[in-house]
């Protein structure tokens, strides 16, 4: 099947489209419509006009940041962008992975396509070319304070456009200049405002946020399905999810989660009753309230992320139509920082919920008749086998680490750059923290999913379960067999994690 093509022309781009480009599920094309090309080039032409009139433009005829009082002679103006991306080549840490890098390129391209950054259409073509050829700049994760934008990481994009530094191409690290030579790509010499336009924005944190959103959205659904299975395995009271009960506390996300669980459990709502146990522990009874927080925050996460994604967020803003240069602070990543700090708390609470459900499943004092540690061993082998004992310990470890990382990054603003950048967002650190918590929570979900399927099977009578639950059990068993005698589970856990990250299992419409 042919991939659909996403056209970049200044229109609104969605989180899903960024993720599709990052995952190579859709291709990209830059609009060549005459009006769009003229609108983009008009900003660069206005900058040229100002230079001819010897106007003063920040970052064009001045130094950067605290050095804005330093005037740059016109004969040296063309050298300034190269100096900008060169001295910012100090990133450290791991490199962003291929998906994240594609997302970064797509987000920066979309921002520049808004037409308020004073760059040439030719620059947009060069970024598009990198995406189309899958030439990915090697961008270190560490070095941004999130205002004045993602300067250091985005310097690696600017340098790559000019044929410098390293890229990942055809499954290996290569010199950009060698790849360009091989593909007959002409390195771009950046014009006066273009280095600043590429680097002085929120593309890195926003790209990571787009990918984080999709993972969080799927984890919320997976945690709901795991809760349904846990309720079956633990012989829970299904009427904790009664429709009337949730109508009196009408948080929309919470109501939606309870509805999904009711459908999973085939709960008849017209004649409510209590099961043999009046009240389950909170990790079952309050699961819709925990997961519902995530469900209720997803819409405003989307609003924050997509507003940033479709904004011009460098400085200065170039209004070519009105011939204004507007100096401001749109590079400040406060909205993404707040969204990521909030998302990581909501995600970590999912990990904590599943960790508590896992603890109930293991312990004969609380699991209502299941074998200790969900062991599937035959009676004559029971004393030798330990079931999910070690996995439960690991789940506790991953959960603790996730919870530890929930400290908001945005409150750790540091005054930097001679106190010019005296209040910064820390948005990129918040986004990276969120990714780590997502990784840990996916690990918790993988382990808990395998365990809870085992618990349901140990109860028996799977044939009377809802189609939803039967489908999930079958899908898990297609990949991971029942744990009867002790075996090393690492590879099966890793497989399950990968399937979760690929959103392999469809859950709720």
In a domain? residue 63: yes
β-bridge mates for residue 71, sequence order = 62
In a domain, 252, yes or no: no
Q: Is the same domain home to 106 and 216? A: no
Is the domain of 214 the same as that of 195? no
> Domain with 34 in it: what CATH number?
1.10.275.10
Same domain for 16 and 118, yes or no, is yes
Q: What are phi and psi of 496, to 5 degrees?
A: -65, -40
Q: What's the pLDDT score for residue 149?
A: 85
Whether 131 is covered by a domain: the verdict is yes
∠ CA(157), CA(159), CA(162), 5° rounding?
A: 110
Query: Domain for residue 390, yes or no?
Result: yes
* Contact between residue 141 and residue 96 where contact means Cβ atoms under 8 Å apart: yes
Residue tagged active-site, from 58, 218, 239, 508: 58
Distance CA 256, CA 246 (A): 9
Are both 170 and 217 inside the same structural domain? no
Domain holding 99, by residue range, is 5-201
Whether 287 maps to a domain, the answer reads no
- Asked if 107 and 36 sit in the same domain, the reply is yes
Q: Is residue 313 part of a domain?
A: no
The answer to whether position 488 is within a domain reads yes
Q: Rounded distance, CA 456 to CA 472, Å? A: 11
- pLDDT of amino acid 269: 39
pLDDT of residue 457: 96
Do 148 and 296 fall into the same domain? no
Residue 167 shares a structural domain with residue 297:
no
Task: Determine the pLDDT at residue 50.
Answer: 82
Q: Which residues in the chain land under pLDDT 70? A: 1-2, 54-76, 268-276
**Strand 140-142 with 92-95, pairing:** antiparallel
**13, 70: one domain:** yes
Q: Are 441 and 347 in contact (CB under 8 A)?
A: yes
pLDDT of residue 66: 56
Residues 219 and 336 in one domain: yes
Q: Is the same domain home to 490 and 347?
A: yes
Q: What is the CATH number of the domain that holds 298?
A: 1.20.200.10
What pLDDT was estimated at residue 419? 76
Is residue 58 annotated as a catalytic residue, yes or no?
Answer: yes
- My answer on whether omega of the bond before 148 falls inside 30° of 0, hence cis, is yes
DSSP secondary structure, 223-239, as one string:
HHHHHHHHHHHTT--GG
133 and 217 in a common domain: no
Residues 298 and 163 in one domain: no
Residue 148, CB half-sphere, CA atoms under 13 Å: how many?
Answer: 23
The 10s digit of each residue's pLDDT in 130-178 is: 999 999 999 999 999 998 889 999 999 999 999 999 999 999 999 999 9
Predicted TM-score of the model (pTM): 0.94
Count structural domains, the chain. 2
The reply to whether 236 falls in a domain is: no
Check residue 327 and give left, alpha or beta (phi > 0: left; psi -120 to 50: alpha): beta
Asked if residue 500 lies in contact with residue 218, where contact means CB atoms within 8 angstroms, the answer is: yes
């Amino acid at each position: 099947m042919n991939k659909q093509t996403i056209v970049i022309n200044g229109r609104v781009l969605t989180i899903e489209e960024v993720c599709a480009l990052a995952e190579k599920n859709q291709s990209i094309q830059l609009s060549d419509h005459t009006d769009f090309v003229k609108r983009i080039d008009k900003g660069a032409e206005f900058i040229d006009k100002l230079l001819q009139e010897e106007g003063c433009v920040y970052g064009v005829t001045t130094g950067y940041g605290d050095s804005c009082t330093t005037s740059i002679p016109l004969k040296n103006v063309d050298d300034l962008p190269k100096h900008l991306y060169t001295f910012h080549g100090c990133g450290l840490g791991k490199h962003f992975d291929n998906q994240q890098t594609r997302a970064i390129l797509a987000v920066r391209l979309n921002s520049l396509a808004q037409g308020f950054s004073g760059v040439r259409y030719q620059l947009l073509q060069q970024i598009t070319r990198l995406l189309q050829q899958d030439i990915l700049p090697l961008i270190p994760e560490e070095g941004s304070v999130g205002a004045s934008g993602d300067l250091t990481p985005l310097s690696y994009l600017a340098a790559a456009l000019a044929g410098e530094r390293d890229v990942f191409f055809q499954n290996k690290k290569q010199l950009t200049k060698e790849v360009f030579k091989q593909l007959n790509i002409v390195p771009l010499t950046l014009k006066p405002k273009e280095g600043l336009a590429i680097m002085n924005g929120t593309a890195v944190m926003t790209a990571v946020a787009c990918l984080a959103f999709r993972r969080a959205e799927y984890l919320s659904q997976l945690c709901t399905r795991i809760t349904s299975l846990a309720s079956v395995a633990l012989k829970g009271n299904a009427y904790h999810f009664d429709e009337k009960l949730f109508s009196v506390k009408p948080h929309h996300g919470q109501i939606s989660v309870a509805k999904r669980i009711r459908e999973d459990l085939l709960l008849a709502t017209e004649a409510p009753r209590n099961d043999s146990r009046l009240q389950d522990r909170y990790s079952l009874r309050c699961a819709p309230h925990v997961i519902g927080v995530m469900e209720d925050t997803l819409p405003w996460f989307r609003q924050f992320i997509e507003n940033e994604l479709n904004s011009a967020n460098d400085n200065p803003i170039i209004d070519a139509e009105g011939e204004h240069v507007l100096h401001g602070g749109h590079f400040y990543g406060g909205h993404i920082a707040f969204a990521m700090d909030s998302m990581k708390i909501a995600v970590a609470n999912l990990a904590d919920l599943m960790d508590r459900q896992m603890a109930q499943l293991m312990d004969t004092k609380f699991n209502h008749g299941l074998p200790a540690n969900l062991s599937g061993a035959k009676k004559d082998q029971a004393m030798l086998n330990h079931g999910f004992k070690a996995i439960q310990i690991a789940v506790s470890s991953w959960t603790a680490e996730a919870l530890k990382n929930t400290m908001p990054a945005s409150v750790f603003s540091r005054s930097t750059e001679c106190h010019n950048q005296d209040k910064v967002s820390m948005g990129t650190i918040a986004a990276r923290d969120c990714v780590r918590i997502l990784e840990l929570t996916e690990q918790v979900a993988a382990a808990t999913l395998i365990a809870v399927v085992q618990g349901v099977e140990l109860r028996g009578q799977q044939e009377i379960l809802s189609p939803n639950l039967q489908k999930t059990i079958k899908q898990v068993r297609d990949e991971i067999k029942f744990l009867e005698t002790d075996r090393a589970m690492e590879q099966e856990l890793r497989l399950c994690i990968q399937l979760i990250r690929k959103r392999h299992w469809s859950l709720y419409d």
